Amino acid sequence: MKKAFFVIVCSLAAAAPLRAQDYNGGAGLWLGAYDAGLCFKYNLNPVTSTEWLLTFPYDGAVLLTGLYEHNIPVIDRGFHFYYGMGGHLGMHSTSKKARIGVDGITGLEYSFAETPLALSLDYRPGLDLIRSLRLRWDNIGVGIKVTF
């Protein structure tokens, strides 16, 4: 098992310099002021991407959020500013009431050229439309993704 893990790690390290600065997709973790969970991002082209988050807000719900994002290269190679919008749906674990709403996102991401990693800092406000009309304006978080 250790040998297989070592071979996989060495293969990823060897392939990292061969890939372009930008990546096709990434999967990882997201930790925010309002929730935490898993994230998956797929770049449709250099300008647009989709991002999916399965999050567990600290109020006991489970949410699936889908976002459509525009990417703009900034500062230096590897840095991208992005913004977009989408929606979420989920359920509160104790009351079993549905939650449906809209979300926005803006952030800055850095993808490393030497390693298959990307780090992000996001601002992701949301508005619950079903369950209760509630604005979540304070959701700032960080993400780390393994890119491929």
Determine the pLDDT at residue 90: 95
Determine the pLDDT at residue 5: 40
Beta bridge partners of residue 27, listed in sequence order: 40, 146
Look up the CATH number of the domain holding residue 12.
2.40.160.20
- State the Cα–Cα distance between residues 100 and 92, nearest whole angstrom: 11
Tell me if 84 sits within 8 A of 109, measured CB to CB. no
Determine the pLDDT at residue 32: 94
- State the Cα–Cα distance between residues 139 and 135, nearest whole angstrom: 10
pLDDT at residue 19 tops 60 = no
18 three-state secondary structure: helix
pLDDT at residue 85 tops 90 = yes
Average pLDDT over the chain, rounded to whole?
Answer: 86
Q: Which amino acid, residue 16? A: A
Location of structure tokens 């209760």: 132
Q: Which amino acid, residue 19? A: R
- State the Cα–Cα distance between residues 70 and 28, nearest whole angstrom: 20
Name the band, by pLDDT with cuts 50, 70 and 90, for residue 7: very low
Determine the pLDDT at residue 9: 39
Percent of the chain at pLDDT > 90 equals 68
User: Taking residues 19-42, what's their average pLDDT?
Assistant: 87
pLDDT at residue 131 tops 70 = yes
- State the Cα–Cα distance between residues 25 and 44, nearest whole angstrom: 9
Can you give the residue range of the structural domain that contains 47?
A: 2-147
Residue 32, number of CB atoms within 10 A of its CB: 21
Q: What's the N-to-C CA distance of the chain in angstroms?
A: 23
Structural domains of the chain, count: 1
Determine the pLDDT at residue 1: 47
